[in-house]
Structure 1
Amino acid sequence: MQKHTKHGIIKLYKFKSPDYMFSVIVKAIIVALCAYITFSCVNMITNKKIKVAASKELMETGNMLAQEILENSNIMTQYMIYLENHKDIAEDAKKRILTTVVTDYIAKSEYTYDTSDPAYSQVINILYENMKTENQIAKKEVETTAKPVETTVKNNEKNNNKKKRNKAIVPLPKKSGKLYTEKNIGSFKEVINRFYTVTNATTIKESDMPIKQALNKEFKITGNNKKPQILIYHTHSMEDFSNTTKDEDTTIIGVGNRLAQILREQFGYNVIHDKTKYDIVNGKLDRHEAYTQSKAGVKKQLKKYPSISLILDIHRDGVNDGTRLVTEINGKKTAQIMFFNGMSRFKLSGDIDYLKNPYRFENLALGLQMKVNAECYYPGFTRRNYVNAYEYNLSLGKQCMLIEVGAQTNTYQEAKNAAEPLAVLIKKVLGE
């Protein structure tokens, strides 16, 4: 019933009986309960699906990160070497140490990952189980060697692959020499007198390499091995040794091969080894334009792979025929090496304008840090750092080194052996 007033239409309701009202209320309650139950069921099913999906996503994330660590770092290799040297550690302690090591890796990685994420425990578990599996494989190989048994072709292949992976593993050194720091290394003059040979053609000043700043300068191989990180090349690719054959691997290129192998297989870096013969012109040996040609070649590599952060020009020196640059490391006859710096400066006329090097301090600092670490871990392995007048393509980057590995009087085996401690020094200075 409606009634018209000046304020509009007012609805008028007839009075209903109590029984009728009660039935309406009961129906309303039933409808509400049904709606609530339906909503709760739907919500419960939805939440369960969300939790399952979230759990699955966390598992996938954990698996993915664990795989990345296994493929792109030397964590497992270093961790297993550590455990091998500390066999009495309890299982729970092993896991705690692994957690610390992996967390540190993630913190330094270019990727971000929340270690409070529940999937993080999954990452540790995957890595830990991988470590145990690797140890079990290694033990089986030892048992197979001790007790000859018949094996299938498949098992033989697995063992051969394992041995192949371990072929490039270099023992990590302990401190066996003097550890130099800014507190005990001495003055600039003392450092030059102790560690350097400066030719009469050039000069090096304290302002070129302030010792404290040089020792504290941070160097790092950036990125991960999904993209190239290190470039090895040879301005003088035809340099050979006392017993070099027609095989390219017995020349300085063979030293580059061995260095690249260790940096890849033991330390997990992505390495490009440029074997271009920059000192061959029209089919003949010609070193007059070798540095010009190699600089152009390296620039092309850097343009193609801007992720490269360490550039190594590997040479061998030329010495008097009676000179033998040999030491012994890990029971092997090993060629001594030398870090080479160019000042782009003549002693009399000053800086060479057409050979400017904006990274002179970084080059010198890196060479000093490599030398100091060598004195600590491999005393007798390195010769005095050599400083000469020209630029030697060291302006190509802040992390750029020219390294002389042995000389023509060394055997190529001695030179290739030198790649092993050299790789460890690179890892210590630029990777730790």
Structure 2
Amino acid sequence: MYNKFAKVVSIAILLFTIPNNTLALNKDGLFTNLIRYSYPEVKVIEKDDTDTKDKQNEDQTTTSKETKTSKQFVNVYVGEDNIPTAKKSDNNDISLESAVYSSNLRVTNNKPQILIYHSHSCETYSDSPKGNYHSEDKDRSVMSVGCLLTNQLSNLGWGVIHSTTYHDSPSYNNSYKRSSQTIKSVMNQYDDVDITIDLHRDGLNISNETVKNNIHNKYTTTINGERVAKFFFVVGARNDDVTKVKKLADSLTQYAKKKYPDLIMPVVMKPYGRFNQSICDNALLVEVGSNGTTSAEAQASAKYLAEILDGYFKEQDIKNN
């Protein structure tokens, strides 16, 4: 680090003693060129200038990959220093103590291929009923499942980005519009991302304890003596790549059925949805459990979902880093 710092200082002195026409000495030009030369492992990226004004319909999102603009900023990758507190049990499974990150983005290595995010970040489980199962209780929400899925996929060798940006708070409207900005911003920074996972939980009308118990039984199963939440994939029928997205969801479902027949539920088609599924080559929307299942049951599913994703994408020759 000292040698690199000395190099930067030396270069800076040299640059200010040579004619201006040899290198742009504006604020962005000088700094970014110094960084490029002295820190080759740092990626200089271009900022997304997309208009952030919300549209009336949250599903009226752009469907093409974001083009880069000329405005630059420097992103210095600092490693895996933004991990929520987790602990391992005696059988080496990872469980969650806190899903609170120190910032809104965790990156597990400098060439991530998978982005996990939450268009409806406030979706909570049965043990957190505040706000009709919608609140910023991260430890009992879909964010905690995303945290554990990130851990499990990282243990399997994948580079993963997990975004804990709230896209549905303080306003639920246009949450898919806001999450599309997160996707494009991340993909603008990390060129290797080609799998996106929008992680949700299903939501049903729970009118009484009997209904809640019925929903719980429908959305859970037992694997290796452990009660876990079932999951399923959702496809938006209005997106431009619906055929490709449906094929991916069907293929993953069939793959999961071979490994854990009782864990996976059928693919759901939403006739009026887009769900940002045309932005990335491999776009998934997965519902893990429902508001009738507990956060612990949903978190317990993460290792099985990771195993399925890992095995499937390796078979498809989308290799981990």
For Structure 1 versus Structure 2, the TM-score category normalised by the shorter chain is 0.5 to 0.7
Match of 2:28 in 1: none
Q: Do 1:225 and 1:268's aligned partners in 2 also have CA atoms closer than 8 Å?
A: no
Correspondences of 1:24-423 after superposition (within 5 Å): 166-168=92-94, 226-244=110-128, 247-265=137-155, 267-280=156-169, 284=170, 286-321=171-206, 322=211, 323-324=215-216, 325-344=219-238, 356-357=239-240, 359-389=241-271, 390-423=273-306
Match of 1:102 in 2: none
Q: CA RMSD in A?
A: 2.3
- Give, in angstroms, the shift of residue 407 of structure 1: 0.6
Please give the alpha-carbon distance, in whole angstroms, between the structure 2 residues aligned to 1:165 and 1:408.
28
Distance 1:303 1:288, change over 3 A: same
- Give, in angstroms, the shift of residue 362 of structure 1: 2.1
SS where residue 278 of structure 2 aligns?
A: helix
AA paired with 1:327?
T
- Give, in angstroms, the shift of residue 291 of structure 1: 0.4
Match of 1:65 in 2: none
- Give, in angstroms, the shift of residue 247 of structure 1: 4.8
AA paired with 1:366?
L
Please give the alpha-carbon distance, in whole angstroms, between the structure 1 residues aligned to 2:94 and 2:88.
11
The structure having more radius of gyration, on CA atoms, is: 1
Please give the alpha-carbon distance, in whole angstroms, between the structure 2 residues aligned to 1:380 and 1:337.
10
Please give the alpha-carbon distance, in whole angstroms, between the structure 1 residues aligned to 2:111 and 2:91.
21
How many pairs are equivalent? 201
Identity of aligned residues (%): 30
- Give, in angstroms, the shift of residue 423 of structure 1: 0.6
Please give the alpha-carbon distance, in whole angstroms, between the structure 1 residues aligned to 2:92 and 2:193.
26
Q: Deviations over 1:207-241 (max 9, x none)?
A: xxxxxxxxxxxxxxxxx954111100000000001
- Give, in angstroms, the shift of residue 388 of structure 1: 1.1
Q: Deviations over 1:340-378 (max 9, x none)?
A: 00110xxxxxxxxxxx52x32221111011110121110
AA paired with 2:176?
Y
Match of 1:8 in 2: none
Q: Deviations over 1:84-142 (max 9, x none)?
A: xxxxxxxxxxxxxxxxxxxxxxxxxxxxxxxxxxxxxxxxxxxxxxxxxxxxxxxxxxx
Please give the alpha-carbon distance, in whole angstroms, between the structure 1 residues aligned to 2:138 and 2:262.
28
Q: Deviations over 1:62-83 (max 9, x none)?
A: xxxxxxxxxxxxxxxxxxxxxx
Q: Do 2:122 and 2:137's aligned partners in 1 also have CA atoms closer than 8 Å?
A: no
AA paired with 1:273?
H
- Give, in angstroms, the shift of residue 331 of structure 1: 1.7
Which ranges in structure 1 are unaligned for 5 or more consecutive residues?
A: 1-160, 170-223, 345-355
Q: Do 1:235 and 1:278's aligned partners in 2 also have CA atoms closer than 8 Å?
A: yes
Q: Do 1:234 and 1:274's aligned partners in 2 also have CA atoms closer than 8 Å?
A: yes
Match of 1:115 in 2: none
- Give, in angstroms, the shift of residue 168 of structure 1: 4.0
Worse overlay, 319-328 or 334-343: 319-328
Please give the alpha-carbon distance, in whole angstroms, between the structure 1 residues aligned to 2:224 and 2:154.
20
Please give the alpha-carbon distance, in whole angstroms, between the structure 2 residues aligned to 1:225 and 1:329.
31
Q: Do 2:125 and 2:292's aligned partners in 1 also have CA atoms closer than 8 Å?
A: yes
SS where residue 394 of structure 1 aligns?
A: coil
AA paired with 2:149?
L
- Give, in angstroms, the shift of residue 317 of structure 1: 0.5
**TM-score scaled by length of structure 2:** 0.59
AA paired with 2:167?
Y
AA paired with 1:256?
G
